């Protein structure tokens, strides 16, 4: 048997490790940092207990608006008594299980798609069937489902509809525009630049107005386009222009050598892009792309200006009811949490994706 070398383990001093070490290193590391720690603690002490008291102890959870006015703390009743309207808007009350089910299907699909090992053909079919079912549930009209006009759609399903379709359609369009802008064909290049610069030079609000008010003027009489569809198209066009510029940044980061190597083994332009350049370029720009997607998700709330009842608008509508007037804090905290969940899961997922894709570095 080989003799084991028994080295006596020398542990670092207690002041360097463990809780004390951590506190010293992170909180009281120098005069200035110690001061900052103390000031921060003081603020936390001043802010957290009162907030906790307001939100949980003195709060009313399931009362009428009248009873709420007596409570000293938060009035969560504004949410709990109105959540069906906030979440589903004017969708017929007894039919609201349908948008709920549609959202559950969407969440299920999104959750299942998180894992890249699942990105195979069956998943694509699942999405197609899922989207079809969701549309069916929302719209109805067959299989004994009561028909619900899209003008009655609202709340969270509308926000998700605009966001999910907006983002998934804008991304490929943005990539194509980025490639177009770097194309050697002058026509394609000029068109891409024109598109990107025009759209980026205009606020989303004006695009939405154009889609809602100006665009119908050009249609022949009797021809109408669904309002949600028009807003959807505006969001897609707008987001795509921003994604295009971010992707272009990623393309510019690629060395000429990668193109040359791909060409030298006989790959054509399409295959070079698809197999060699884009996988690398898109990976580089994951962080800025996700920033754009997150801000686009939040920008869907701008559709209120063309009178679509998205999540934010339904909340505002509840607040304009005399019974619930004055409880905007609580209602907006609730909506804020919903938006945060959406944005945070996107950014969380992008970090996971980045980690998985960085194996080769």
Partner 1 sequence: MNIEKKASEGQMIEFIDVHKWFGEFHVLQGIDLTVGKQERIVICGPSGSGKSTLIRCINRLEEHQRGRITVDGIELTNNIKNIEKIRAEVGMVFQHFNLFPHLTIVENLALGPLWVKKVPKKEAEEAAMVYLEKVHIAEQARKYPGQLSGGQQQRVAIARSLCMNPKVMLFDEPTSALDPEMIKEVLDVMIELAREGMTMIVVTHEMGFAKSVAHRVLFMDFGKIVEGNTPEEFFKNPQHERTKLFLSQILH
Contacts with partner 1 by CB under 8 A lie at 255, 257-258, 260-268, 271, 275-276, 279-280, 283, 357, 359-361
DSSP 284: H
Dihedral in degrees, nearest 10, Cα atoms 186, 192, 195, 199: -140
Q: How far is the CB of 191 from partner 1 (least distance, A)?
A: 22
Cβ 45 vs Cβ 64: under 8 Å:
no
Task: Please tell me what DSSP assigns to residue 151.
Answer: G
Q: Considering the complex, state which of residue 168 and residue 268 has its C-beta at the smaller distance from partner 1.
A: 268
| Minimal distance, residue 19 CB to partner 1, in Å | 38
Q: In this structure, what is the dihedral angle of CA atoms 201, 204, 208, 213, given to the nearest 10 degrees?
A: -40
Considering beta carbons, is residue 271 or 305 the nearer one to partner 1? 271
Nearest residue (CB) to partner 1, 24 versus 352: 352
Closest to 208 measured CA to CA, from 193, 229, 192, 194: 229
Q: Which is nearer to partner 1, 64 or 268 (CB)?
A: 268
Q: Would you say 116 or 329 has its CB closer to partner 1?
A: 116
* Residue closer to partner 1, measured from CB, 272 or 314: 272
Identify which of residues 167 and 277 has a Cβ nearer to partner 1 in the complex: 277
Burial class (CB in 10 A: 0-12, 13-18, 19+), 37: middle
Residue 284 CB, nearest approach to partner 1 (Å): 11
**Nearest CA-CA partner of 148 in 226, 228, 91:** 91
Pairwise CA distance, residues 285 & 251, whole Å? 9
Q: Contact at 8 Å (CB) between 75 and 59?
A: yes
- Say how far apart CA 256 and CA 239 lie, in whole Å: 29
Q: Is 184 helix (H, G, I), strand (E, B) or coil?
A: coil
> Measured from the CB of residue 278, what is the shortest distance to partner 1 in angstroms?
10
Of 197 and 260, which has the nearer Cβ to partner 1? Answer: 260
Smallest gap from Cβ 262 to partner 1, in A, equals: 8
- CB burial string 187-196: b at 16+ within 10 A, e below: eeeeebeebb
Give the DSSP per-residue string, 123-177.
HHHHHHHHHHHHHHHHH--STTPPP--GGG--BHHHHHHHHHHHHHHHHHHHHHH
| Closer by beta carbon to partner 1, 263 or else 323 | 263
Residue 229 to residue 240: CA distance in whole angstroms: 16
Q: Which residues contact 43 (CB under 8 A, 6 or more apart)?
A: none
How far apart are CB 275 and partner 1 at their closest, in Å? Answer: 6
């Amino acid at each position: 048997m080989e003799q084991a070398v028994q080295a006596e383990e020398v542990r670092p001093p207690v002041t360097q490790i463990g809780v004390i070490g951590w506190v010293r290193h992170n909180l009281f590391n120098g005069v200035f940092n110690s001061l900052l720690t103390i000031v921060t603690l003081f603020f936390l002490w001043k802010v957290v207990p009162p907030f906790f008291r307001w939100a949980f102890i003195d709060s009313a959870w399931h009362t009428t608006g009248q009873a709420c006015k007596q409570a000293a703390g938060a009035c969560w009743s504004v949410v709990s008594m109105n959540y069906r309207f906030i979440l589903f808007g004017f969708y017929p009350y007894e039919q609201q299980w349908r948008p709920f089910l549609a959202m559950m299907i969407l969440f299920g699909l999104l959750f299942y798609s998180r894992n890249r090992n699942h990105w195979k053909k069956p998943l694509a079919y699942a999405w197609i069937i899922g989207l079809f079912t969701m549309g069916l549930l929302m719209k109805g009209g067959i299989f004994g489902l009561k028909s619900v006009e899209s003008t009655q759609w609202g709340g969270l399903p509308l926000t998700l509809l605009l966001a999910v379709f907006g983002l998934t359609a804008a991304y490929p369009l943005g990539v194509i525009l980025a490639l177009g802008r770097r194309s050697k064909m002058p026509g394609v290049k000029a068109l891409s630049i024109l598109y990107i610069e025009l759209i980026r030079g205009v606020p989303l609000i004006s695009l939405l107005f154009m889609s809602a008010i100006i665009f119908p003027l050009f249609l022949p009489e009797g021809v109408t386009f669904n309002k949600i569809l028009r807003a959807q198209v505006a969001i897609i066009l707008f987001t795509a222009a921003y994604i295009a510029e971010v992707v272009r940044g990623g393309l510019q980061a690629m060395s000429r050598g990668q193109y040359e190597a791909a060409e030298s083994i006989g790959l054509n332009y399409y295959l070079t892009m698809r197999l060699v350049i884009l996988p690398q370029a898109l990976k580089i720009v994951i962080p800025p792309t996700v920033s754009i997607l997150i801000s686009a998700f939040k920008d869907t709330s701008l559709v209120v200006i063309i009178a679509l009842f998205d999540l934010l608008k339904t909340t505002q509508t509840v607040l304009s009811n005399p019974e619930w007037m004055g409880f905007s804090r609580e209602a907006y905290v609730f909506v804020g949490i919903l938006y945060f969940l959406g944005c945070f899961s996107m950014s969380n997922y992008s970090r996971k994706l980045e980690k998985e894709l960085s194996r080769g570095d």
